[in-house]
Structure 1
Amino acid sequence: RLAVQNGIKVSVIPGPSALLSALAASGLDTGRFIYEGFLPSKGKDRKLRLEALIQERRTLIFYEAPHRLRKTLADLADLNLGPRRLVIARELTKAYEEFLYLTLEESVSYYESVEPRGEFTLVLEGLDEYRNRIGLKTEDDWTDETLKTLLAKALAEGLGTRGAARRVAEDTGVGRKKLYQLALELDQEKSPRSPEL
């Protein structure tokens, strides 16, 4: 990581897979990562898979074909992932090996004028590392009390328990399931059931 941050070229000795070579040279968090393989090429499966990635806390690794690279980068940027760091590894362990260290937004601009060629491995900064880098809290930093305060505010604006959980999840990175349970607790605290006679 320090080598990459200081502009020192990192070459990886060929190993069992391109994904590990790309991850090792990425300078991104290697402690926790998820390999997504190739994303579905189109339709509902692609949309659902991409939407699931928004809240992924770990470093993400994908393979992509040159003819689909631009679309994948644009689709990821459309999910508001543009400021996240992205390493594009091309032609690993070959004569034209290349690593590009950009943000997702920068990569979209770059490939508007450069024709994608070769085999690509994409390493995308996960939500936890991104939030740490820009000074936002991670899921583990939020107390139930603080989350309940945020949920109460959303509920007071007229959102239902599901809507409040969804909004607070987007704002904090905390899982919707946990937030929904906290919203239900808040709802029960507001209107406790009268004891049965």
Structure 2
Amino acid sequence: MPCHNGPVRADGRLVLAGAPIGQAGDVSPRLREALRDADVVAAEDTRRLRRLATELDVEIGGRIVSYYDANEAARAQELVETLKEGRTVVVITDAGMPGVSDPGYRLTRLAVEEGVTVTALPGPSAVTTALAVSGLPSDRFCFEGFPPRKPGERARRLSALAREERTMVFFEAPHRLHGSLEAMAEAFGADRRAAVCRELTKTYEEVRRGGLAELAEWAAAGVKGEITVVVAGHVADERPPDMAALVAEVERRVAEGEQRKTAVADVARAAGVPKRELYDAVHRRSSSP
């Protein structure tokens, strides 16, 4: 059923339309009807929308407006006024569901606040498609969107997820994939199982599965296309690792001449703990009086 918060004060209707993530043939008959019958179609990329309409042999009868990151705030207010006039507005992004790492949230929030009916046309999702083909547990999962671009912020975000027990799904740009996989290997452990899903449903679809360090090494040569990364959650051990013993082992190796960075990496890998967690424990020990 359409969802709204509070009494509906307008006859307008906001439709969040899931777009195909690679194959135009994945669209539903309802999406065809929505594009044909809407008063306004707000598109992340109007050229892509027109190309999709041509592939579907659908004539868009309403007004087409752009709705993307740079104009989302201003356009959302304009579209809400259109909705309050009793019109139907369809929002469609380049791929997937509006509002999920794509424009759509601001408009949805404003429409709900104004009592306008909000509904959705379900469609293909890179999140659930990648989860399904990853081979990793799918009974409980969380979507983390794009990792922060700056290395320090990314490391802090991933460190906070090190003990997350649910399978995690991320989006990432191809030119940042190698760095993110390296950061994940450091935060979650080099052998944490993961899958990199590239160009899902498209001609050159590829799914690479393995440990995070192994996948980072593969990605170092460069990767192209739309990327979704699925990472296994932390498996809670019956007994937590003895960090004091692990720190002592690192200190023993360092005393024998091994570099601290190498010692931490080897001990963390052998114990199955995140490298960052062990490094922080070693640092605290060395800084204490």
TM-score, normalising length: structure 1: 0.57
Q: 1:121 aligns with which of 196, 215, 228?
A: 228
Instruction: Tell me: CA distance 1:96–1:105, structure 2 relative to 1, closer, same or farther (3 Å).
Output: same
Whether 1:59 and 2:167 are equivalent positions in the alignment is yes
Residue in structure 2 matched with residue 97 of structure 1 by the alignment: 205
TM-superposition CA deviations, 1:32-71 (whole Å, max 9, x none)? 1010000110155323211111111110100000110010
Letter in 1 for 2:208: L
For 1:95 and 1:16, locate their aligned partners in 2 and report how far apart those are by CA, in whole Å.
16
For 1:88 and 1:30, locate their aligned partners in 2 and report how far apart those are by CA, in whole Å.
15
* 4+ residue segments displaced more than 4 Å: none
For 2:155 and 2:204, locate their aligned partners in 1 and report how far apart those are by CA, in whole Å.
33
Correspondence 1:38-57 to 2 at 5 A:
38-42=146-150, 44-57=152-165
For 1:85 and 1:122, locate their aligned partners in 2 and report how far apart those are by CA, in whole Å.
11
Correspondence 1:142-153 to 2 at 5 A:
none
Letter in 1 for 2:171: Y
Structure 1 portions without partners, runs of 5+: 1-12, 155-169, 173-197
Whether 1:88 and 2:196 are equivalent positions in the alignment is yes
Residue in structure 2 matched with residue 18 of structure 1 by the alignment: 126
Instruction: Tell me: CA distance 1:43–1:124, structure 2 relative to 1, closer, same or farther (3 Å).
Output: closer
TM-superposition CA deviations, 1:89-128 (whole Å, max 9, x none)? 000111111111111111122123x321111100001012
Is the 2:155–2:187 contact (alpha carbons within 8 Å) kept by the matching residues of 1? no
Instruction: Tell me: CA distance 1:80–1:39, structure 2 relative to 1, closer, same or farther (3 Å).
Output: closer
For 1:67 and 1:108, locate their aligned partners in 2 and report how far apart those are by CA, in whole Å.
12
For 1:78 and 1:171, locate their aligned partners in 2 and report how far apart those are by CA, in whole Å.
11
For 1:92 and 1:63, locate their aligned partners in 2 and report how far apart those are by CA, in whole Å.
12
Q: 2:136 aligns with which of 28, 35, 48?
A: 28
For 1:124 and 1:53, locate their aligned partners in 2 and report how far apart those are by CA, in whole Å.
11
Deviation at 1:171, TM superposition (A): 9.2
SS of residue matched to 2:179: helix
SS of residue matched to 2:137: coil
Q: 1:75 aligns with which of 165, 183, 186?
A: 183
Is the 2:155–2:183 contact (alpha carbons within 8 Å) kept by the matching residues of 1? no
Letter in 2 for 1:115: G
TM-superposition CA deviations, 1:134-157 (whole Å, max 9, x none)? xx43xxxx7xxxx8xx8xx99xxx
